[in-house]
Amino acid sequence: MLQAGLHNLRQASVRITEVSPRDGLQHESEFVPTLRKISLINALSRTGVAEIEASSFVSPAAIPQLADSDEVLRAIDRIPGVTYSALVPNERGLERARAAGVDKIAVFTAASNSFTRHNIKATVQESLVRFRPIVAAAKRDGLAVRAYLSTVVFCPYEGRIAPAQVRDVMERLLDLAVDDISLGETIGKASPTDIRRLLDTVLPHVEPARLSLHFHDTYGMAVANALTAWWDYGITAFDASAGGLGGCPYAPGASGNVATEDLVFALKASGANVPVDELLVAACAQQLGDAVRHPLNSRLSQLHHREKPQPAWRE
């Protein structure tokens, strides 16, 4: 019976949330011009991804790279079937996001108090209190709400995190009526065994369809962890970043997110139904590397570099 249930879950289309425009770009030191960001999102919209995290409505002083979030969200082409979301840290950010026409907002916490103190200057409890009115207001406005829950296996300051600790914060987020939760493996150190231990603990308390997994590839384990979650547990939603762009400045040594094109290729090769064109994503990634002026880490982009794919966006 269990295997039959897993088989049914695996038949569902895999949902990819593309995070390069926000999580990928936010800590790049060289400002990427607004028109290039708009063109990137427009190109990603045509790759088959289900959702694009387009920007963040934080203070421009905090993240200068995303100071143009209002302009970007207003100017992009909206493709039917694609959800356009943005990170919102406070009620002022929610007002800006609503005015810019986002479909969905995201709020952020972690399973580790040390990590939230470094990242958002609050404890986990304080972060939940802080965004309770944000979630309530967004839901009243008809906006979907995602919650990011980071450090779900390891914390750069506290070490290994107990799965029960993650479960407890997750349940409090569900009590706030968020629509889905992204579990973030922040420092990229987890193995498939760690992911099994985590999912064995949290899945009895949440519908699998409400979870997305967000892997970093610091130790080269991200694709293996994603395949484990899909095959062993029927998880069909993943966050990924074109070219593997991104990382966590509050997690020393943590490299980029799992590359969208590499993850899509691996899932398809394993039999998953993924309605994303990995070669179009690879084309986006190659030009994204040009925009940030440093090479990206995607295997697939490197493999197809000599094939000179058609430009993914127009200047």
309 vs 115 pLDDT, higher one? 115
pLDDT per residue as tens digits for the range 237-251: 999 999 999 976 656
pLDDT tens for each residue of 80-94? 999 999 999 999 999
CATH number at residue 251: 3.20.20.70
* Domain boundaries, position 183: 1-314
pLDDT at 4 over 80: no
> What value does the mean pLDDT take over residues 88-116?
96
pLDDT reading at 99 higher than 80 = yes
Indicate whether 186 pLDDT > 90: yes
Give me the catalytic one of 94, 248, 276, 312. 248
Confidence of residue 297 (pLDDT cuts 50, 70, 90): confident
Average pLDDT in the 173-177 region?
Answer: 97
Q: How many domains does the chain have?
A: 1
* Whether the predicted pLDDT of 201 surpasses 70: yes
For residue 304, is pLDDT > 90?
no
Residue 248 appears among annotated catalytic residues:
yes
What is the spatial distance between Cα 299 and Cα 289, in angstroms, rounded to a whole number? 13
7 half-sphere exposure, CB direction, 13 A CA radius: 4
CB neighbours of residue 209 within 10 Å = 14
Average pLDDT, the chain: 92
Q: For position 253, what pLDDT does the model report?
A: 56
Q: Is residue 312 predicted with pLDDT exceeding 70?
A: no
Greater pLDDT, 96 or 250: 96
Q: What angle do CA 97, 98, 101 make, to 5 degrees?
A: 90
Q: Where are the alpha helices (DSSP H) in the chain?
A: 2-11, 34-45, 69-75, 91-100, 113-120, 124-140, 163-175, 192-202, 222-233, 260-269, 278-292, 299-303
pLDDT band at 309 (very low <50, low <70, confident <90, very high): very low
pLDDT > 90: what percent of the chain? Answer: 81
CA–CA distances in Å: residue 6 to residues 1, 161, 167, 212, 273 = 9, 27, 21, 16, 14
pLDDT at 172 over 70: yes
